[in-house]
Structures are given as structure tokens and as C-alpha cells.
Amino acid sequence: MSEQQETKKQRIFSGIQPTGVFTLGNYIGAIRNWGQLQQDYECIYCIVDLHAITVMQKPADLRANTMRCYAMMLACGIDPKQSVAFVQSRNPHHADLSWVLSCSTMFGELNRMTQFKDKSARHADNINAGLFTYPVLMAADILAYNADLVPIGADQKQHLELARNVAIRFNQRYGETFTVPEPYISPAGAKVMSLQDPMKKMSKSDENVNGCVYILDDKDTILRKFRRAVTDSDAEVCYREGKDGINNLMTIYGCVTGKTMDEITAEFAGKGYGDFKTAVGEAVADHLAPVRDEFARLSADKAYLNACIDAGSEQAYRLTRPILSKVYRRVGFIDRK
Ligand code: TYM
């Protein structure tokens, strides 16, 4: 093996939907890790606007949200000089590959996807084909770059499993073409739960506004949401089965302070839940303060953001072009120039 091959970094791909302000779940489960991985991997991160239109969007809002989410992604620590940071619709290869892969994806596989079932229940008036084939596009996002690793929260695991199966099937059918990607799911915070219903994932679509913390919430709002968090009827801050509310708060506190569960238990021994909830709120608000400041700074510089999107999307296109050419040759299309 040549020296160059030995030192070649593994490639990472991940994406996030521009459907509103990122939640603390998005941040802890995914984006925080994206930033940390930039040193050691070749990273490609994407605002997935093609995915967003599987549910009804107002065009002007989607455009504005895509820009805002791009700024949020950078504010969370993604450096567009170090990583490829772009907008999905600006690289047409995602949609091109998605079609090819859809012909190697079985209807039954898609029909088993729990997110499709959840979303079609929530959007019963708009169960469109895109909602159903969404995981194929996600597979295309990842496979178009031959990514080795995909940092995601636990809720995306089933989609990643499908991407792996599609890659394996395609490789068997047409010869080795795609890298079979591995999920990168961080051991802590892979599933941040709602503050109002700790059996449910924290989600933008939570009807109860107090269940979900957004990364741009101000300090008072964050404190208020944590003070109202649902806990249990005993008064011991410790991580134990059945204490879902406290377990969730401890996980969040651990993720933003770096403290272990034992350290947190010791810190709050003999103190009430009120003190603990306030401490978690304070720690989260302090942790997110620089993200909010950076977001405000970046949002004021639209020209910079547009230049970053242009450059990132161009880089992304250049990365996928040879892979798409290979796929087209493999399936028997006349090669594009
Ligand atoms: P999305 O936009 O719903 O969420 C973005 C990332 O945040 C994670 N996440 C959570 N992690 C922990 N706790 C939570 N409560 C929580 N809520 C969300 C998600 O797991 C995800 O990692 N289909 C994807 C976007 C996508 C993608 C891709 C991801 C499109 N193509 C290719 C990876 C690779 C989605 O809807 O994520």
C-alpha cells in the first residue's frame, strides 16, 4: 500500500432537513459530532432540501429556512474550509442516483420503514410517493460519495440499514461499486427525548412547545422549558431504568458538561429536582450561547453564506461525478461526457 493510501482519511457524510430551527436533539445526536469529526475525517455535510419537500412546504419559507439552516450548521462548528458544506438540491447527482437505486430497492423494504408510517399518519392528506421513497434518496446521498461513516441519531438507523442493503445488492448485481457505509451513533445522546413526554423523541413536530428546546432559544426560554420538564415522583438524581425523565436530563447535562452519570449523581446528592432542572437549563443555555452569537453574526453576512454554498455545492458535484459515471456505466447507460 502506498503512503498516500495509508494516510487517506475515511469519508463521512451526513445531512439535516431545513424544516426549522435545529433542536437540542439534532444538536446532541448529530451536529455536535459532525464538528468534532472534522479533524480526523474527510467530512461532507448537507442541508437536505430535496427531502424537506416530502411534506408540504411554502416555497419562500423553504428557501429562507435552507439559508438559515446552512448558517446554523456553520454556527454549530462546521467549517466550510475544512468540510464540504452544501445544499442538496445544488448537486443534481443525488436525484440522479436515487432513481437508479430505486430500481434496486424493494417495495417491501420501504414499506417497513417506521418513519414512513409515522409521517404518513401525521400527514394523512399528503402521502406522496416521495415520502415513501425518501430512504432511497437518503441512500443516494450517502452512496454518491462512497462515504465510510454516517453520523446520525438513533432514529435514522433503520434508513442507514436500508442504504447498506441497497449498496450490497447493487454491488452483487453490477460488481463492486459502492462502499457499504457504517452508522456512527454516539453512545450518549443518540436519542434525546421530549422534555414533556420522555417516552417520545424530542422533535420539531412536538405539539407541546415545552417539550422541545431549539438551539436558538434564548436563555430564559431554555430555563423555563427545563424547569417544566416532566420527571418522576421520587427525588433522587440517578440514572436508573424507569426514570425516563431524569435519565434524559442527566444525558443532556452530561453531553453539554462532559460529566459522567456518577459525577452528576454525586453533584446533586441531597438536592431536589428543582435545583437539578435549573442546573441543566443553565448548562444548556451557556453551551448554546456561542452558537446563537455565531448564528447572528453569520446571518448578517448573506454574501458570505451564498459564496460558501456555491463553493461547497461545486465541490460536492466534483466528488460525485466520477462515482455517478461509474454507476451509469455499470447499469448500461451510454456514458455522459
Ligand atoms: P433530521 O433532519 O430529522 O435530523 C438530523 C439529525 O438529527 C438526529 N436527531 C436526533 N438525535 C438525537 N435525538 C433526537 N431527538 C434527534 N432528532 C433528530 C437525526 O437522527 C439526524 O441524524 N433523513 C435525515 C436526513 C438525511 C440524512 C441523509 C442523514 C438525509 N440524507 C444522509 C444522514 C445521511 C433526517 O431527516 O434527519
Nearest CA to ligand 1 atom 31: 138
* Cross-strand bridge partners of residue 11: 42
Q: Which residue positions in the chain have pLDDT lower than 70?
A: 1-6, 336-337
> In a mutational test of the pocket of ligand 1, which residue from 152, 194, 204, 212 has the highest number of ligand atoms less than 8 Å from its CB?
152
Question: Does the pTM exceed 0.85?
Answer: yes
Of the candidates 54, 46, 49, the one whose C-alpha atom is nearest the C-alpha of residue 18 is 49
- Ligand 1: lining residues by beta carbon, under 6 Å: 13-17, 25-26, 29-30, 48, 51, 138, 141-142, 150, 152-153, 155-156, 159, 190-192, 201-202
* Grid coordinates of 28: 446532541
Cα(79)–Cα(38) distance, integer angstroms: 8
Active site residues: 119, 201, 204
Residue 228 near residue 234 (C-beta atoms within 8 A)? no
How much is the pLDDT for 74? 98
Distance 16 CA to ligand 1 centre (A): 6
The per-residue pLDDT for range 149-207, each reduced to its tens digit, is 999 999 999 999 999 999 999 999 999 999 999 999 988 899 999 999 999 999 988 88
The per-residue pLDDT for range 202-241, each reduced to its tens digit, is 998 888 999 999 999 999 999 999 999 999 998 899 999 9
